[in-house]
Structure formats: structure tokens, C-alpha cells
């Protein structure tokens, strides 16, 4: 369950932001996760919620944008979406590295992302003394 390590990295990065900005409360985190990464979105969400329970990050929402895979072929100069293996028995079609145009091996150009894209935060009102 490598989603836990990724969620822990995410919390570490967000905690850094909170330490530097103690007057701000993070309410939304937007992640970009590539189609070619092996990260299960729901498991990541579950790990994030478990780690942030009873911390200043509790209740913040995790929005995940899926980044489509793109490939290019060094043999025939094809650039575009990869070829999918539709009848592979899996729940969803699987990306292959077979060139849709010439059948040789392509290289990925997009789709391995696993990054924090942006965060939304609000200003915490100072408690009047």
C-alpha cells in the first residue's frame, strides 16, 4: 500500500506550509495524478483522511485531477494518446506502449504525475485579546 507513503509525503508538505503560515487554514488540496502512475485514488484519500484526523488538516478536501497519458514514437514520429488493450480482463482498458500507428515501442511524455497542484486556504481571524 504505497498510497500511505504518498499521503505521508503530502501531509509533510502541507504541515510545512502551516508552520510557515500559522494564520492560514488549508481547506482544499488539488492533486494531479497521472494515468500511468499506480496510485489508487480512493486508497490515497482514505490514507490522507486517516493521517490528518485530529490535526489542523482534518476536514480539508482532497481533489484529484487525473492527467491523461500521452506518448510519442521514436520510430514513426506518432504523438498522441497511447494504444489501449481493451479485452485484457481488467476493470478498465489498460495502457500499452505499443505504437497505435506502427506497432513498435513508444515512450511516455505525460501521465506519470503525482503532484500537489495547488492549495486553497482561508485566513484565520486572530482571537481578540
- Point out which residues bind other proteins (CB under 8 A): 1-2, 5-6, 9-10, 13, 24, 27-28, 31, 36-39, 85, 88-90, 94-99, 103-105, 113-123
d(CA 29, CA 49): 12
Pick between residue 27 and residue 58 the one whose CB is nearest to other proteins: 27
Q: Can you say whether residue 25 is alpha, beta or left, with left for phi > 0 and alpha for psi between -120 and 50 degrees?
A: beta
d(CA 36, CA 71): 11
Least distance in Å: CB of 80 to other proteins? 17
d(CA 44, CA 7): 6
Least distance in Å: CB of 62 to other proteins? 12
d(CA 27, CA 118): 11
| In contact, 51 and 29? CB cutoff 8 Å | no
Pick between residue 79 and residue 115 the one whose CB is nearest to other proteins: 115
Least distance in Å: CB of 129 to other proteins? 19
Least distance in Å: CB of 115 to other proteins? 5
Pick between residue 96 and residue 110 the one whose CB is nearest to other proteins: 96
Amino acid at each position: 500500500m504505497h498510497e500511505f507513503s504518498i499521503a505521508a509525503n503530502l501531509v509533510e508538505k502541507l504541515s510545512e506550509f502551516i508552520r510557515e503560515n500559522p494564520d492560514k487554514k488549508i481547506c482544499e488540496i488539488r492533486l494531479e495524478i497521472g494515468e500511468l502512475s499506480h496510485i489508487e485514488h480512493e486508497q490515497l484519500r482514505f490514507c490522507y483522511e486517516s493521517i490528518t484526523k485530529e490535526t489542523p488538516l482534518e476536514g480539508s478536501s482532497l481533489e484529484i485531477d487525473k492527467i491523461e497519458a500521452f506518448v510519442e514514437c521514436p520510430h514513426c514520429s506518432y504523438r498522441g494518446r497511447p494504444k489501449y488493450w481493451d479485452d485484457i480482463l481488467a476493470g478498465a482498458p489498460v495502457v500499452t506502449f505499443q505504437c497505435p500507428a506502427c506497432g513498435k515501442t513508444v515512450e511516455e511524455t505525460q501521465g506519470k504525475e503525482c503532484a500537489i497542484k495547488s492549495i486553497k486556504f482561508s485566513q484565520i481571524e486572530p482571537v481578540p485579546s
